[in-house]
Amino acid sequence: MTPGPVETLGGRHAQQGEVVGLRASAPLTATELAAVRADFPLLNRTVRGDRPLVYLDSAATSQKPDVVIDAELDFYTRHNAAVHRGAHQLAEEATSAFEQAREEVASFVGAAPDEIVWTSNATAAINLVAYAIGNASLGRGGAAARRFALVAGDEIVVTEAEHHANLVPWQELCARTGATLRWIGVEDDGRLRLEELATVVGERTKLIAVSHASNVTGAVTDVARVVARAREVGALVVLDACQSVPHLPVDLHGLGVDFAALSGHKMLGPTGVGALYGRRELLEAMPPVTTGGSMVEVVTMEATSYAAPPQRFEAGSQMVAQAVGMGAAARYLAELGMAAVAEHEAVIAAALLEAVAAVPGVRVIGPSDTRDRLAVVSFVVDGVHPHDVGQVLDDQGIAVRVGHHCAQPLHRRLGVPSSTRASASVYTTLDEVAAFGAALTTVRPFFGLGGQQ
Ligand SMILES: Cc1ncc(COP(=O)(O)O)c(C=O)c1O
């Protein structure tokens, strides 16, 4: 695919394939950013007539670089076959591409390949853990799985800031097992009240599920503190790493969490694929959830023995091309260098916050400082419904997300039913933030309210 020239931060034009030396620990230069943008064909299109697209909805789903699109295309064009079956060359090639992608994702997040289970998305990864624990609570999985079993009176701890994907599955698990759901509260600026770990987490806590970074406020969680408290009481930690992995260096072994959920489509990869990370000894002890073909060892009419992980959790035909695409995305980000990505996005986060703060009648929900936060900025515009905000911005080519962002309890806690969210990725430029800021100044005046500077 050959995208056309791309307007860039530095005002120059870059062509696809331009070789740049991306550094490991400094914000991207204008030249480097131009080369990154040239990798993303969609960013070159216009919307609403001839307006350049300003894509600030990367927390919902990221755009895809050519290497990801090409990896899927190449798989279907040259290697497509069912994996882990078949004795022919294509089956071998497909299996090797699928397993290599697993290695790439594993190495990207500091895990071993057999600790990565392919899932259809991050939601499915979290549900996999919840349903496996539910099965263990029913006695499935034998003695090895007993460590996961919940009984009435046990407790699961979440936070009030969770995406519904990391809340509802735990509510359901509690309903099925008689366990009780408890939660850590949030401050007025959306940061977690982690001091509550001392009181909310106790001897009955069997699992703590927390997001690494909020998809609403951008606040980053001090995971080490959560893990330390969990270890004191022998609880498992499930990390929702959807929003952190595309934007920060993440080392799951270093963090010491037990499980983590990853989302392919948020980390420059395809839709329809995600991954569950599980510590090897836990995956080995965990009973399966979805059963059928490809996850078994011996099947008789009476009983079935199950394959070792990760295959035990990958029943049926897998999303092979998407997994290959997710592997390509992990490699792309690793080659950019996550330290450089994080530093670039820290600059964008500061600019987004400044742009929102500069507009009268607009208020950030979430931390207003740049400490431990991502370039995800949600805000409310006094007197204007977020859907109307989104429409006025969209008319000017600016794509943002509006609504509750699958986090109703957090919005309730922060005293607003919904919000508008601008979220960035490695390809976001300061020029785009400036365009967003300028468009935001027009929203209240558009509805006859004061506010134009
Ligand atoms: C924090 C967080 N967790 C989980 C999810 C669900 O991810 P997926 O779409 O991969 O299921 C999202 C998606 O918006 C998210 O932002």
Dump pLDDT digits (tens) for 275-304.
999 999 999 999 999 999 999 999 999 999
CB-based contact 359:441 (threshold 8 Å): yes
Relative to the CA of 213, which ligand 1 atom is closest? 1
Give pLDDT < 70 ranges for the chain: 1-26, 451-453
Q: Ligand 1 centre and the CA of 274: distance in Å?
A: 10
Which pLDDT score, from 0 to 100, does residue 28 have? 85
**Whose alpha carbon is nearest atom 14 of ligand 1?**
60
Q: Ligand 1 centre and the CA of 436: distance in Å?
A: 24
Q: Which of 263, 322, 401, 405 to mutate to test the pocket of ligand 1 (most atoms within 8 A of CB)?
A: 263
- Which residues are near ligand 1 (CB < 6 Å)? 121-123, 163, 165-166, 211, 215, 240, 242-243, 263, 274, 406
Which pLDDT score, from 0 to 100, does residue 100 have? 98
Relative to the CA of 211, which ligand 1 atom is closest? 1
Which pLDDT score, from 0 to 100, does residue 451 have? 59
Cα 336 to chain centroid distance, Å, stands at: 18
Q: Ligand 1 centre and the CA of 126: distance in Å?
A: 10
Cα dihedral 288, 293, 295, 298 sign: positive
Which pLDDT score, from 0 to 100, does residue 25 have? 60
Which pLDDT score, from 0 to 100, does residue 29 have? 87
Catalytic residues: 406
Dump pLDDT digits (tens) for 352-391.
999 999 999 999 999 999 999 999 999 999 999 999 999 9
Q: Which of 163, 259, 322, 402 to mutate to test the pocket of ligand 1 (most atoms within 8 A of CB)?
A: 163
Which pLDDT score, from 0 to 100, does residue 88 have? 96
Q: Which of 167, 223, 405, 406 to mutate to test the pocket of ligand 1 (most atoms within 8 A of CB)?
A: 406
**Whose alpha carbon is nearest atom 13 of ligand 1?**
60
